[in-house]
Amino acid sequence: LPGFRADLTVGDDVEGPQEDTPEKVEDLLELLNELHMINPKGEKVMLGTYQSEFSIYAKMADLEDRDGNPVWENHRACMFEDDGELITSRWPGMFTDDDAMDWRKSVTERAWRLHAMLIADPSILNEKPLKISQFITVNWPIDKKEFPAHVEAGGTAQAHLRTWGAPKGDVWHDAGFLGGESYPYVRTVVGIDPASGLAGRDAIGFAVVSMTRTGHAVIRHLEGIRGPDKIGNIRRAAELIKRFEADHVVVEELADGLWGETLESQLMLLDRPMAVEKVTTGGMQKGRRIIETLAPPMANGRIVMLEQVSQTDHGGEFTNQLVRISYDGRTGKAKDHDDIVDALAHTISTMRGDLVSEIAENLSSARAERLDPWRGVSLRDGGLGIDPSHKGRQARALLVGGEAQGAMGERL
């Protein structure tokens, strides 16, 4: 390549999520110095988005020559404008103002600054975004297969509940409103972080989360599965999957790993055959990944913690891991004992879109299902009229015990 003496060199996204520490950025910068050998006098263009507060693009923008002049021209192509109160689109042909607001609600403040506003500000590292007070704590049976339709954040502090290792002032809060008719969960997802190393030394992180029709995630079980027998531990995980009737299981494992296949065989023995989805982190720093997965739905009041779960020993272990991740996760110090919170992060990541952007769709589908029995009932009998799919069949009214159930409005 040096022999061709390029006149134009374009580096497209040379910085990735794996360059999330000062040391990794310095290593990348040293590699990029070879561009001067390939293109010593021509034009060089670097395109990309900040991936961390130590971004190589921010470093390049600060480089100066011997006369104090900038080495690189810096062009920040922001798609949105944010004055702290209102977010507007600078590219209306591509994004609307509503698109901007939806994006802001779905990411952390850190990700918004880095990716949308193109600000590499190290002060964001001082934020502690994960707090137990952001969970909606509800006293509800863990084995019940349904949940109230209406739940809102903003409740009062529950001082009588143990806060474990949470910092002073950070306590559990109940729901600001909980009521309405109860409906079956839409889906139940299990996240698993398999144990590493010797059996008994590390735990299998296990989390069970169910989705309500209104787009809330309900944490029904958290556990760090430990034991001297590896197969016995996997069987315990399979028994929990069967108990909570999960319809989706995600395991942090490489595609050629055997942990997922072993779990599938145990599920077969329990007469609960399921396919396990394997997920990987793509080299992204674990603490940062967990924070950016959990912070948006927690801050928006989308995650419900059942009181019974929060007060178990495993719930206490989860709280302690959450605190360590919040304080040490961005710097990579929290490398051990994060199995339960990591399992929860995988679970929330799987249903993340439903928690933020598809709430209205969940509501509309739930309402449509409730209205469905009335499609074949005539208007004069309190129904919705004859649906074409009924092919001319007519129904007078839905009868129970020989008496009409009443008008549609009364039933709904």
Evaluate whether 374 touches 315 at the Cβ level (below 8 Å): no
Query: What is the structure's pLDDT at 287?
Result: 81
- Please list the pLDDT of the chain residue by residue as tens digits (412 residues): 666 678 898 999 999 888 877 668 878 888 888 888 888 888 999 999 888 877 888 888 888 888 888 888 988 888 889 887 889 999 888 989 998 888 888 887 878 888 888 888 666 666 667 899 999 999 999 999 999 999 999 999 998 999 988 877 889 999 999 999 999 999 999 999 997 644 445 789 999 999 998 899 999 999 999 988 899 999 999 999 999 999 999 999 988 889 999 999 999 999 999 999 999 876 667 887 888 899 889 988 999 999 999 999 999 999 988 988 877 665 555 445 789 999 999 999 999 877 754 454 555 565 566 566 655 555 555 555 555 454 444 444 444 444 444 454 554 4
Q: pTM of the prediction?
A: 0.66
Q: What is the 3-state secondary structure (H, E, C) of 306-322?
A: EHHHHCCHHHHHHHHHH
Domains, the chain? 2-125 (no CATH), 129-361 (3.30.420.240), 375-411 (no CATH)
Query: What is the structure's pLDDT at 381?
Result: 57
Distance of CA 44 to CAs 27, 33, 273, 353, 382, Å?
19, 12, 55, 38, 72
Query: What is the structure's pLDDT at 403?
Result: 42
What are the tokens at 251? 């395991």
120 vs 76: CA distance, rounded Å = 12
